[in-house]
Structure formats: structure tokens, C-alpha cells
A and B are shown apart, each in its own frame.
Chain A
Amino acid sequence: MKTRTPYRVFRVVALVVVVLSMVAPLLWMVAASFKTNVDIYDSSKALAFSPTLENYTKVLQQANYVQFIGNSLWVAFAATVLSLILGVPAAYSMSRFSMKKSALVVLMARVIPGVSLLVPWYYVFSNLRMVGGFTVLILSHMFVSLPLIVYIMMGFFDGLPMELEEAALVDGLTHIGAFRRITLPLSMPGIATAGILSFIFSWNNFMFALVLSGADTKTLPVAIFDFVGYASIDWGGLMAAATVVTLPIMLIALFVQKYVVSGLTAGATKG
């Protein structure tokens, strides 16, 4: 069937508008990261400017960003893996044994604003002499990623047919064996989604790292504010740092978006 022309024109225009408005700030950020501080404010040099790599030198050499990238990667990775190890089996049992109320309690962790927990946490962890270390950062990030993973995976497990496991049980597998050999391999897309989302949340988390990290364990979102001073803002450095923070996560998202989208709908419609 042929689509009518006005509709097609509208479609193209709408797409262009949406894409431009989404991409423009990103492009501005990347462009600004190659400009000097004087040029950034100059609207006549929005597109035509002589690029400089000075900002990136600053970010990667002087400002110690390599270390902060390492910190962020480690915290996000560890928090995600640990949350997956705890969260996937938890989600499985909640889904299979109808533990809806336990699920509600897990959800509470998402409902309570994180900021209200910061003071008690800080109090507890500083008395345990843990503030400033990686352990406390990973634990606090797990607080965000665990409920997320449990919820996505619950929806996913609900959608997997019970019959597959029953067949495995008939064939002589134990419950755990059925989970390990049948359910787990089938739920890989869901695990990928949950893992990636949890990684992104952890990568972007600012609040917990602000209070609980130390000078050596700072993560990227906190470190980025080093470029904002009281009486001076280094826009070029800030934009270069922001590009450095955004790039890895964008690359990851680009490669795995297939999983994310299919996993999200799997959780949403069958949950």
C-alpha cells in the first residue's frame, strides 16, 4: 500500500526535528571541547574555528582523568556483577514462587530517595572506617542496581514458559539444575539488558560518590566538577571531560542497544 505524500513529508520533518534537538547539545559539547575558552562564547565561531587539543591534554594528563576513568569502570563493573549474582536468582525465586510482597520491599529501595539515606550511611560507614574506599562505593551503587536488576529479571522470568522447566525436571534435573541449564541460558537477553542499565546508572551516579568517595577513589561524575571554580569556569576543559565521560557509555550503548530494547519490552509487556 502506498503511503500518502503529506504523511511522508511530515514523518521526515518530525524525524529531523527530533534528531536535531537531541543531537545538537551533544555536538555542541564535542565542538566546544576542541575550542579555546574565548571561542566558546563567540557565536560567529560556532562552526568555523581552529581546533585545539589543549583541553584534552589538560583532562588526560594534568587532571588525572585516566585514574578517574579506571575508578568509574571498576565501581560500575563490580556493582553490576555483584548485583547480577544476587539479583538474578532472587528475581527467579520471586517470580516462580510468587513472592510479590518481598518484591515490593525490594522496590521500596527505589522509592526511597537516595539522599535521605546519605546521612545515616555516612555515619555508619565512617564509623566503620570505610568512607573513601571502593567497597563502600560499590555497596552504595548496588543499592541502586539491585532493585533494577530484580525488577527487570522478574518480568523476564514471568515470561518464560514454566513447561520448559517442568520438562527438565521430568528428565531428571534438580530445580537448581533446571535453573542453571535451561532458564539461565534462555534469559541471557534479559540479563544483558539489566546488566547494561545497571552499569549506566552506576556510571552516572553522582550523589553517592560525592559523599562516600575519597580523593583517590573519585568517580568521573564527581571529578568533572574540578573544572568549575568559584570565580572561573574552564568551559573547554569541562566539555572535554564531559566528552570523555560520555563516550565510553555511548559506545557500549550503541553496540548493545539491540539487547536493551528487546529486553525492556520483554520485561514490560509480560510482567
Chain B
Amino acid sequence: MLRRSVIGGSLAVAVAIGLSACGGSGGGEGDTGSKTVRVTLANHVWTENLKKALPAFESQSGLKVEITQLGEDQLSDQYNVKLNAGSSDLDVMMYRPLQEGKLFAKNKYLADLSDQTKASKDWDFSDFQAGPVEATSYKGKPVGVPIITEREVLYYRKDLLAKAGLTAPPKTLDELKTAAAAVKAADPGVAGFVARTGKSPAVTQFSSYLYSFGGDFDSGGKSAVNSEAAKKAYAFYGGLIKDSGPANVSTDMSWPEAMAIFTQGKAAFYTEADSLYKNATDPAKSKVSDTVGFAPFPAGPAGSKPYNIPSWALGINDASKNKANAWKFIAWATGKEQTLAQQKSGVPSARTSVWANPEGTATYPKDLAEAIAASAKGGVGHDRPQVVKVAQAREIVGQPIVDAITGKEPGASADTANQAFQKFLDDEQK
């Protein structure tokens, strides 16, 4: 009896493996040309805007668009299950190029869009910014179209600066440090600076500091998180929060927590993704909507080098049997007209022509538009290690940030992280 159930058990495992194996190879040949395009999107302002414009597209193209909408992590979980099973139920996917793009491309979940992106002159692929396009390409071939971009900018409080006797926002990281200390000295109840402190969430916002000090997470397969530049960046970021940050700061903050401190008026400076700006300028969410200002990311020893990345992109499931119509949807959703409409309602795009168009930035606070324009120029195309298992890598390279905040010696911590990250990179090469 026992033996039988053991056999039964291993049989079940074997079947499961077999299933996922044939799932992988259950290819996407053939095109059914169905009039229904199945689109999976994340909860985002972009999605809400798109849904409003959708009826016009449907009546003009004769296609029916079926939308499934999910939270960021739920979306990711669902992709992992469905794509792993080789499902053809998904046609168009909204995904995070830097978080899961490499994994999806490596597993051949994303269709090669080389032909489609070249085909249409009006749509004009060359209009997309280079950094984001690089992040949505795999081995030189486009596998996604960037729809939403973000850069790190400096959020600051005009009134608190004036109170501390400062006339302009800091232009360099050293000035930021002095200004943050000055604000805290002028009013001990208010923190000079706040930013993400959680091991993994902080990595992306720390990246601009790292680049501006002249470092990067890795270079050519070699971990670089204990380079001189990286050590200085860790010490600076952690030190700034330790010295001028909120009292008893938690080391578990992502953007909702850090943003809350800023929008409740409890901090003067905050470095964060520009795509979150509405949280600070909307009076329904923020108490400082009147006094918030924006400035380009302050320059470090290597200049001002914020990231400029596509946070979301659209791709086509390689197993989809409806690729032609899926592309029609993408071409419309990422076309110049839709992109302009999206950007006007607060979604920063990846199209150069839309940024160059005065209409495209008319709804943005003027200083924010300027900060974005400055960042887009020198921007680095990634804000986290470019690996397959991104979540794991973030845990490793994020540890020295937490250590620096809690007052541990950042250099030693960076050395430890470097060792772990090198091992991680070696494992991934295998």
C-alpha cells in the first residue's frame, strides 16, 4: 500500500514536470486572427486613461478588447503561472521591463517585435527615447514597447527652505547634505531629508546616488558594489537619512511610507521617482500641495546621473495566436496621439516628440517639467541590477543601504554584499 502511494506520488510529479515541459514548447505558431484581443494591464493611471479611450479604438478597428486588470505583484504572479503553462489566453501584456523583462525574454515569453516596430512610419519607433528602448530589448531585438517612464528627481518644500534661509534648491549632493542639516537645525520637529529605507525598495532610488558617485551595480559580469564610488554612495545615502532623516526612522519604508512623511509636512527634501508626483501635488492626498517644488537630481562627483527608465511596457505573449491584432492594439495605445493624451493626464511617456511638444508638459508643474527634461538627457537606462532574478539581487545589494542607515560601517557591509552578489552573478551565468 505504502509503496503504491510512493509510486503514485512520483508519477504525479512526473506528470507535472511533463505538463510544464509541453507547456513551454506548446508554441505560438499560426494566427487565428480572432477579433478579440485579450489584454492584461496593471492598476495604473495609464490603464484608467486607456479604458476611457478604448471605445473609440474598438469602433474604429472593429476589434474587441478584453481587459484584465490587476495589482503590480498579482499581475506578476499571474504571468508566472500562465506563461509557464504556455497559455495562449494572453495576447498583450503590460509588464515591468527592469523587474521581469529579462526573465520573460530569456524564457521566450515575449514575442520578437522587430518586424512590427519597423513596419509603420507614422508610429515611428525612432521617436522613443534610447534608454527605455534599450531596457525593452533583449539581445538587440525589441521585445516590448515602453509606455511609462520615470526618473529620480528631488522633491522639496519651498516654505521650509525659506525658513532655513535657503533661496534655491541644492544643485549638488554636498549642498543637499548641508541644506538638509540646516532645515533640521531650524526646526527639530521636521526631518531634513526622507527617502526609501527598505532593503529592496530603496535600491532603485539609491541607484541615482550610485551613478552620480561614479559607480554601478556591476560591470561586465563583475560585481561592483564594493567599489570606492559605491562605498561612498552607500555611506552618503545612509548617512543622510541617519543624520537628517526622521527620528527613529524605520528601515522598512517603501514609497507609500516615505511619501506619507513628506506629504504630511514632516520632511523638507525627498528623492523619489517623478511618476509619483501627483501624490504630492494632489490636495486630496497631500498637505503640502501648495509648497512642494521639484528640482533635478543633485550632482555628485560624477555629475547628476539619475536613472531614466521605462517602468512599464507592453509586450506580446509569444504563445499568443492573435499577434497581428495584438500589435494593432499596441500600435494604437503607444501611438503619438494616445501617448500625448496619456502624458497630459500625468503619465510620463517615452516619446521624444511628446516631451518636445509644449502641450505635453503643459499640465506638469513647471519646475517638474524642467527637472524631467534635465534628467532625460544624462539618464542611466536602469535603476536596479540587470539580471534575471531581480528580486533576489535587490535583497543583496540593498543590505548595505540598511546597514548605513542603522549606523553600521558601510564599507564592510559593501564588501560582504559584493561577495554575495558576485556569487549570485556567477550562478546566473551558469
Q: Which of A131, A210, A230 has the most CB of B within 10 A?
A: A230
User: By the criterion CB–CB under 8 Å, are A210 and B78 in contact?
Assistant: yes
A120 at interface, CB cutoff 8 A: yes
Collect the chain A residues with CB atoms within 8 Å of residue B256's CB. 233
Q: Count how many chain A residues have C-beta atoms less than 8 Å from C-beta atoms of the other chain.
A: 32
User: By the criterion CB–CB under 8 Å, are A126 and B71 in contact?
Assistant: no
User: By the criterion CB–CB under 8 Å, are A37 and B43 in contact?
Assistant: no
User: By the criterion CB–CB under 8 Å, are B45 and A228 in contact?
Assistant: no
B265 CB → nearest A CB, Å = 10
Given known A-B contacts A123-B23, A225-B70, A226-B71, A231 and B275 have beta carbons under 8 A apart: yes
Name the one of A211, A214, A233 contacting B82, with C-beta atoms under 8 angstroms: A211
Q: Which residues of A contact B (CB under 8 A)?
A: 36-38, 41-42, 101, 104-105, 108, 116-120, 122-124, 126, 131, 210-211, 214-215, 222, 225-226, 228-233
User: By the criterion CB–CB under 8 Å, are A37 and B15 in contact?
Assistant: no
Q: Which residue of B lies closest to A105 (CB)?
A: B5
Give the segment of B225-233, B278-286, B359-367 that binds chain A.
B278-286
User: By the criterion CB–CB under 8 Å, are A38 and B284 in contact?
Assistant: yes
User: By the criterion CB–CB under 8 Å, are B84 and A119 in contact?
Assistant: yes
Collect the chain B residues with CB atoms within 8 Å of residue A231's CB. 44-45, 273, 275-276, 278-279
Collect the chain B residues with CB atoms within 8 Å of residue A228's CB. 43, 71-72
Collect the chain A residues with CB atoms within 8 Å of residue B70's CB. 210, 222, 225
Collect the chain B residues with CB atoms within 8 Å of residue A123's CB. 19-20, 23, 85-87
Contact with A along B256-298 (1 / 0, CB 8 A): 1000100110000000010110110001111100000000000
Q: How far is the CA of A225 from the CA of B78 in the complex (A)?
A: 13
Q: Which of A42, A116, A123 has the most CB of B within 10 A?
A: A123
User: By the criterion CB–CB under 8 Å, are B276 and A131 in contact?
Assistant: no
Q: How far is the CA of A214 from the CA of B284 in the complex (A)?
A: 33
B69 at interface, CB cutoff 8 A: yes
Collect the chain B residues with CB atoms within 8 Å of residue A119's CB. 16, 19-20, 23, 81, 84-85
* Between-chain CB contacts (< 8 Å), 14 pairs: A38-B263, A38-B283, A38-B287, A105-B5, A120-B20, A122-B87, A131-B89, A210-B78, A215-B66, A225-B74, A226-B43, A229-B44, A230-B43, A230-B311
Contact with A along B18-54 (1 / 0, CB 8 A): 0110010000000000000000001111000000000
Q: How large is the interface on B (under 10, 10 to 19, 20 to 34, 35 or more residues)?
A: 35 or more
User: By the criterion CB–CB under 8 Å, are A126 and B43 in contact?
Assistant: no
Name the one of B69, B77, B260, B284 contacting A210, with C-beta atoms under 8 angstroms: B77
Collect the chain B residues with CB atoms within 8 Å of residue A37's CB. 284-285
User: By the criterion CB–CB under 8 Å, are B43 and A229 in contact?
Assistant: yes
B56 at interface, CB cutoff 8 A: no
Name the one of B67, B89, B286, B287 contacting A126, with C-beta atoms under 8 angstroms: B89
Collect the chain A residues with CB atoms within 8 Å of residue B119's CB. none
Collect the chain B residues with CB atoms within 8 Å of residue A225's CB. 43, 70-71, 74
B377 CB → nearest A CB, Å = 23
Given known A-B contacts A122-B85, A225-B70, A230 and B284 have beta carbons under 8 A apart: no
Q: Which of A116, A210, A231 has the most CB of B within 10 A?
A: A231
B356 at interface, CB cutoff 8 A: no
Given A124-B19, A225-B70, A229-B44; 11 other pairs, CB 8 A cutoff: A37-B285, A41-B260, A42-B264, A116-B16, A117-B16, A123-B19, A126-B82, A210-B77, A225-B71, A226-B43, A232-B45
Collect the chain A residues with CB atoms within 8 Å of residue B68's CB. 214-215
Collect the chain A residues with CB atoms within 8 Å of residue B260's CB. 41
Name the one of A36, A108, A117 contacting B284, with C-beta atoms under 8 angstroms: A36
Q: How far is the CA of A116 from the CA of B81 in the complex (A)?
A: 10
Closest 10 CB pairs of A and B: A225-B71, A229-B43, A123-B85, A41-B260, A230-B44, A228-B71, A122-B85, A120-B19, A120-B16, A211-B81
Q: How far is the CA of A97 from the CA of B264 in the complex (A)?
A: 66
